[in-house]
Structure 1
Amino acid sequence: MKKTFPLQATGKDDARVRDKIRHEVNKYVRRERQKDLPEGFAQWAFDCRVGPTAAAAEVRSLKDVGAAIDAVAAAGANEVYIEIVAAPAHRTAIG
């Protein structure tokens, strides 16, 4: 998913517009996780970038995408660019 979303919509509260953006991101992630993994991989990893434009987008973790959308809106931008790319990954041991 590589998409630029407007942060304001006529007749809608800005917070509801951001909620709709987060909903679309979550829907995309759920859809990607449903896909079959290639042989030898255990899970999907998501490479995410968020910013006011594609050139200014910064790397973020998937769990920080929602907060990054709010940060871009708080900075006064009119739109937010979101890039999320799914890639097969191996599980790693924690600890």
Structure 2
Amino acid sequence: MKKTFKRTAKLQYERWIDSVKNEVRKYLKRERKKKLPEGTDYWDFECQYGSEQETAKAIHVAELIKYIDQAAAQNRESFYLQILAKPRIRSKQGTAPQKDSAN
């Protein structure tokens, strides 16, 4: 999803923000339900947020709603949001190095 969300005059501001959040959540849910390519474990999302496409910066998927709330707090009339789903393989965490107990 690459989209510039613009407020229309017919929606109240709070209602518009709620509809944007709902659209983002629905998109994430829909993408996570897609079948994973063979050899991958999960869907990762590369996200960008900004006032315009050219000024967008990378953010974590867990921060999407927080940035939408910040836009609401700043009374922005529009903002750009990009969410791209990428299949990934989980990296295995190694065991913690054991301390040498010999003193």
TM-score, normalized by the shorter chain, greater than 0.5: yes
TM-score normalised by length of structure 1: 0.86
Report the Cα offset of residue 45 of structure 1: 0.1
Q: How many residues align?
A: 94
Percent identity reads: 35
1:87 aligns with 2:78: no
Structure showing greater radius of gyration is 2
Task: Please give the alpha-carbon distance, in whole angstroms, between the structure 2 residues aligned to 1:59 and 1:16.
Answer: 26
Q: Is the 8 A contact 1:42 1:88 kept in 2?
A: yes
1:52 aligns with 2:54: no
Report the Cα offset of residue 93 of structure 1: 4.2
TM-score normalised by length of structure 2: 0.80
> After the TM superposition, which residues 3-82 of structure 1 pair with which residues of structure 2 at under 5 Å, given as runs?
3-6=3-6, 8-82=7-81
Task: Please give the alpha-carbon distance, in whole angstroms, between the structure 2 residues aligned to 1:10 and 1:76.
Answer: 14
Counterpart of 2:4, as a letter, is T
The ranges of structure 1 where at least 4 consecutive aligned residues each deviate by more than 2 angstroms after the TM superposition are: 8-13, 72-77, 92-95
Give the stretch that moved more between structures: 79-88 or 14-23.
14-23
Q: Is the 8 A contact 1:51 1:68 kept in 2?
A: no
Report the Cα offset of residue 56 of structure 1: 1.2
Give the stretch that moved more between structures: 62-71 or 85-94.
85-94
Give unpaired runs (5+ residues) of structure 2: 97-103
Give unpaired runs (5+ residues) of structure 1: none
Counterpart of 1:17, as a letter, is W
Report the Cα offset of residue 72 of structure 1: 2.7
- Alpha-carbon RMSD across the aligned residues, in angstroms, is 1.8
